Copies of this chain bind each other. A is one copy, B any other.
Amino acid sequence: MYSPDEDGVFEQLKSVILAAETDARGRVRLPPERTLAEQLGVQRSTVRERLASLENIGVIRRTRGSGTYVQMPNPGFVQLYFDLAVKLGYVSVDEMERAREMLEREIARIAASHATDDDVAELARLYEVMVHARTIEEGLEADYEFHQRLAYMTRNPVVILLIEGLSSVLREVLYRRRVLVRRVPAGAERTNATHPAIVEAIRARDPEAAMAAMDEHFRVWEEQASSIASSRDSASLLETPPRNQDSP
Residues on A lying within 8 angstroms of B by beta carbon are: 4, 10, 14, 17-18, 22, 26, 28, 45, 48-50, 52-53, 55-59, 64, 70, 72-73, 77, 80-82, 84-85, 87-88, 90-91, 95-96, 98-99, 102-103, 105-107, 110, 156-159, 161-162, 166, 244-248
Contact = CB atoms under 8 A, between A and B. Distances in A.
B57 A95 contact: no
The 7 A-B residue pairs with the shortest CB-CB distance, nearest first, are A53-B56, A102-B106, A99-B158, A49-B52, A73-B85, A91-B157, A53-B53
Given A49-B49, A57-B81, A90-B157, A64 B247 contact: no
Chain A interface SS verdict (over half)? helix
Given A84-B59, A88-B70, A110-B102, A95 B157 contact: yes
A158 B84 contact: no
B57 A157 contact: no
A64 B2 CA distance: 12
